[in-house]
Amino acid sequence: MAARTDLVTDPAITASLLLARRGQAYFSRKLNELADADFEEPSLLTGWDRRHLIAHVGLNARAVTRLVEWAATGIETPMYSSPAARVEEIAFSATLPPQALRNLSDHAAIHLTVEWRDLPEEAWDHEVRTAQGRVVPVSETVWMRTREVWIHAVDLGNGGRFEDFPSELLDALLADVLRMWDRRREAEGLPLFLLEPLDRVAVTPPAAHPGAVTLRGTAAALTRWATGRGTQGVSTSTGGPAPRAPRWL
């Protein structure tokens, strides 16, 4: 029997799917390296132990799958019935035995990749609504899941590193963060950051912007800083310490 492959042939989407699946493999590898007893330890996310983080990532796959099913069927299926229901589901799932949490992670990820695989070419531009209320083409779900699995693999706190991320992912994450800040800059009074990766072409070209803060570091270090995971390896253009990054998502 011939293997089933993705129905979509758009090169950009197929490349995005590959990056998402590589991220899932990376998360699964870091998860599998944890012993059951390690689930009780804190994650790198303040207020969450590893149990809550693993539950969140598995349930996120289910939520994203609902959006893909919405695009496929035309029947509205929100990611979550409400913000409160999302919080309650994570809290309950975090109480599951370690093997059940492992199964949740694996099975939800497989279900999502099957739904992506079987989504017809013409459905990839169908619009769905995210948990934040944004209306986006369903193709956006691939990026939503990509950043989820790669970054939370680091948040497990057992050796995952931004330095392990593919270069195209680091560049995409930095661009995404800067885009989010740009949308909120006026309303929230956010400073303008100019990023100068020492191992890349600058994400935002250096220019004279009154009050702008120029930060330097490797692309991995800048991405770690921009996503709120610490200032290690990042400094201002004058050699001073990096400020705390604004909220991203």
CA–CA distance, 223 with 61 (Å, rounded to integer): 23
Region 195-219 average pLDDT: 76
Question: pLDDT for 183-194, tens place per residue?
Answer: 999 899 999 999
DSSP state of 49: B
Q: Specify the pLDDT at position 207.
A: 55
Q: Specify the pLDDT at position 44.
A: 97
Q: Give the pLDDT band (50/70/90) at residue 238.
A: confident
- Hey, is 245 helix, strand or coil? coil
Q: Specify the pLDDT at position 203.
A: 52
Question: pLDDT for 89-131, tens place per residue?
Answer: 999 999 999 999 999 999 999 999 999 999 999 999 999 999 9
Catalogue the E-assigned strands of 15-91: none
Q: How far apart are the first and last CA of the chain?
A: 43
Q: Average pLDDT of the chain? A: 94
Number of Cβ within 10 Å of residue 214's Cβ equals: 18
Backbone angles phi, psi at 190, to 5 degrees: -75, 145
